[in-house]
């Protein structure tokens, strides 16, 4: 149990460090005002237009760092700050979210795979730890019987969530690459603004990396508890 607490504590600490770095990076780069004076919403709309995408809407959503692309109703949802502000952070986030819309329009395979897993993972990921734990309580350590099978079922659910968090990585990196390539190609930002956008997106990607590593660490730990306990 001790190893688990150290592992989870370490990952939680890392996750906190990365997300607070991310927030401070975004704050810093939001002070770099865009030379072209465009808001995040205008950047997003222009990137959609440049890719010939006409059936995706750019809308404003409440909160901070709540930006996302919704493939169900084809909307690029930008947080209020990103939607309205005219700076390097807003440009980076807006272009990144449109990067997901471009992936969707071009049926980018990692995004397709991720979308297929969403309905499954949204049901299983919240309960997987409890299923494994419940199985162990029922006597999985004996290596036979109901408890063991319940624990293994829980591990499979946990494995799905882990796979999901790793499939998210190429999707996120690719959206950022598309965003940065477009910003550069269309000469949307100055060199300094570009450097800011690139750095901000790099920290955003790291939060997904930490989440994936956390899921993997948890899976390995619980697998050890279930299979290791058989001896
Ligand atoms: Zn993204």
Cα–ligand 1 centroid distance for 99 (angstroms): 8
Residues facing residue 59 across a β-bridge: 77
Domain boundaries of the chain, sorted by first residue = 2-227
Averaged pLDDT score across all residues of the chain: 92
pTM: 0.88
Cα–Cα distance, 224 to 86 (Å, whole number): 50
Q: How far is CA 103 from CA 84, 108, 171, 178, in A?
A: 24, 5, 8, 9
* Strand ranges across the sheet with 57-61: 57-61, 75-79, 68-70
Cα–ligand 1 centroid distance for 136 (angstroms): 36
For 26-36, the pLDDT digits (tens) are 899 989 889 99
Cα–ligand 1 centroid distance for 95 (angstroms): 10
Ligand 1 is an ion; its neighbours by CB within 5 Å are 172, 175
Cα–ligand 1 centroid distance for 155 (angstroms): 27
Confidence (pLDDT) at 231: 47
What beta strand segments (E) does the chain contain?
57-61, 68-70, 75-79
Cα–ligand 1 centroid distance for 7 (angstroms): 27
Q: What is the largest CA-CA distance in the chain?
A: 67
Task: Give yes or no for residue 56 having a pLDDT over 70.
Answer: yes
For 74-106, the pLDDT digits (tens) are 999 999 999 999 999 999 999 999 999 999 999
C-alpha distance across the termini of the chain, in Å: 17
Is the Cβ–Cβ distance between 13 and 71 less than 8 Å? no
């Amino acid at each position: 149990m001790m190893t688990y607490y150290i592992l989870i504590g370490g990952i939680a600490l890392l996750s906190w460090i990365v997300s607070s770095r991310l927030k401070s990076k975004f704050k810093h780069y939001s002070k770099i005002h865009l030379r072209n004076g465009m808001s995040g919403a205008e950047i997003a709309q222009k990137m959609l237009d440049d890719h010939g995408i006409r059936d995706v809407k750019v809308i404003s959503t409440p909160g901070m760092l709540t930006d996302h692309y919704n493939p169900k109703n084809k909307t690029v949802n930008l947080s209020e700050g990103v939607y309205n502000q005219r700076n390097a952070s807003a440009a980076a986030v807006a272009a990144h979210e449109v990067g997901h819309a471009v992936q969707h329009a071009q049926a980018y395979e990692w995004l397709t795979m991720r979308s297929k897993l969403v309905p499954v993972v949204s049901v299983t990921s919240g309960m997987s730890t409890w299923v494994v734990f419940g199985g162990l309580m029922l006597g999985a350590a004996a290596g036979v019987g109901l408890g063991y099978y319940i624990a293994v079922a829980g591990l499979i659910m946990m494995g799905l969530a882990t796979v999901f968090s790793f499939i998210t990585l190429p999707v996120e990196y690719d959206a950022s690459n598309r965003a940065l390539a477009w910003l550069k190609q269309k000469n949307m930002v100055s060199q300094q603004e570009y450097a800011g956008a690139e750095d901000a997106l790099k920290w955003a990607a790291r939060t997904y990396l930490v989440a994936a590593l956390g899921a993997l660490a948890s899976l390995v730990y619980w697998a050890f508890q279930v299979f290791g306990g058989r001896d």
